[in-house]
């Protein structure tokens, strides 16, 4: 029956897009913050890439805007089970920052720091080759403060707790060091397709 086949095909497409245990949150964008939302003026903001790099580097708001612009259009997935389809972010790729800073061969992990004290850890493989961004625009508008504005990290292929809001530093390290949620029971890597929500998943 062609009609049944079409229906099944559509459902399969949707399921392919939604990682296991997730639902489509639709038009809203929930705010999830474990701390008070800071007010950071763009001219007070800066981002440093240091640790195991040849050239420790810091960019001001103006300086980071001079790097080649890069965009993400796609989906995001929160460990609290909402997923949001077709979001558009603009900023720079983490690759561009690393190219300037020159990671040393021993650099195997990154600890992303927020100016609020929040941290989250990532293997280098998860932030290179066009998989991670530092972003300041959402849907063509400045990134809202409650969502990490002026600038947040964006690692959309992992659960959203890896996308540190109000990002201020990327520290390259030889050894893995758990961040805030990873110390509090969340999975070390957080791949939504493997449902890596909590330690032991």
Ligand X SMILES: Nc1nc2c(c(=O)[nH]1)N[C@H]1C(S)=C(S)[C@@H](COP(=O)(O)O)O[C@H]1N2
Q: Which of 8, 32, 88, 104 binds Mo ion (CB under 5 A)?
A: 32
Per-residue binding letters, 29-68, with ligand X (x by CB under 6 A) = xxxxxxx---------------------------------
Q: What share of the chain is helix, strand, coil (3-state, %, to 5)?
A: 25, 30, 45
Among 59, 89, 109, 118, binds ligand X (CB under 6 A): 118
Q: What angle do CA 88, 125, 154 make, to 5 degrees?
A: 25
Token pair 């460990």 in the structure block, residue: 79
Distance spanning both ends of the chain, measured CA to CA: 40
Please tell me whether residue 164 binds ligand X under the rule CB under 6 A.
yes
Place of tokens 């999830």: 32
Near ligand X in 72-91, by CB under 6 A: 78
Measured from the CB of residue 33, what is the shortest distance to ligand X in angstroms? 4
> Considering the complex, what minimum distance in angstroms separates the CB of residue 79 from Mo ion?
5
- Nearer to Mo ion by Cβ, of 131 and 162: the residue is 162
Least CB distance to Mo ion at residue 31 (A): 10
Query: Should residue 196 be labelled a site residue for ligand X when binding is judged by CB under 6 A?
Result: no
- C-alpha to C-alpha distances, 192 to 20, 67, 75, 82, 125, nearest whole angstrom: 7, 30, 11, 11, 16
């Amino acid at each position: 029956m062609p009609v049944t086949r079409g229906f099944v095909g559509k459902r399969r497409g949707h399921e392919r897009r939604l990682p296991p245990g997730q639902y489509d949150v639709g038009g809203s964008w929930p705010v999830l913050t474990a701390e008070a939302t800071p007010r950071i003026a763009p001219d007070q903001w800066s981002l440093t890439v240091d640790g195991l790099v040849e050239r420790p580097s810091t960019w001001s708001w103006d300086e980071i805007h001079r790097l080649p612009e890069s965009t993400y259009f796609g989906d995001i997935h929160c460990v609290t089970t909402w997923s949001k389809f077709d979001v558009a972010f603009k900023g720079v790729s983490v690759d561009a920052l690393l190219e300037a800073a020159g990671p040393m061969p021993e650099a195997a992990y990154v600890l992303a720091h927020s100016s609020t004290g929040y941290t989250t850890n990532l293997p280098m493989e998860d932030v290179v080759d066009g998989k991670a961004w530092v972003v300041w625009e959402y849907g063509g508008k400045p990134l809202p403060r409650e969502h990490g504005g002026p600038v947040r990290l964006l690692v959309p292929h992992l659960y959203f707790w890896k996308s540190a809001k109000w990002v201020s530093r990327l520290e390259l390290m030889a050894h893995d060091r758990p961040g805030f949620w990873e110390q509090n029971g969340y999975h070390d890597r957080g791949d939504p397709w493997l449902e890596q929500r909590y330690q032991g998943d």
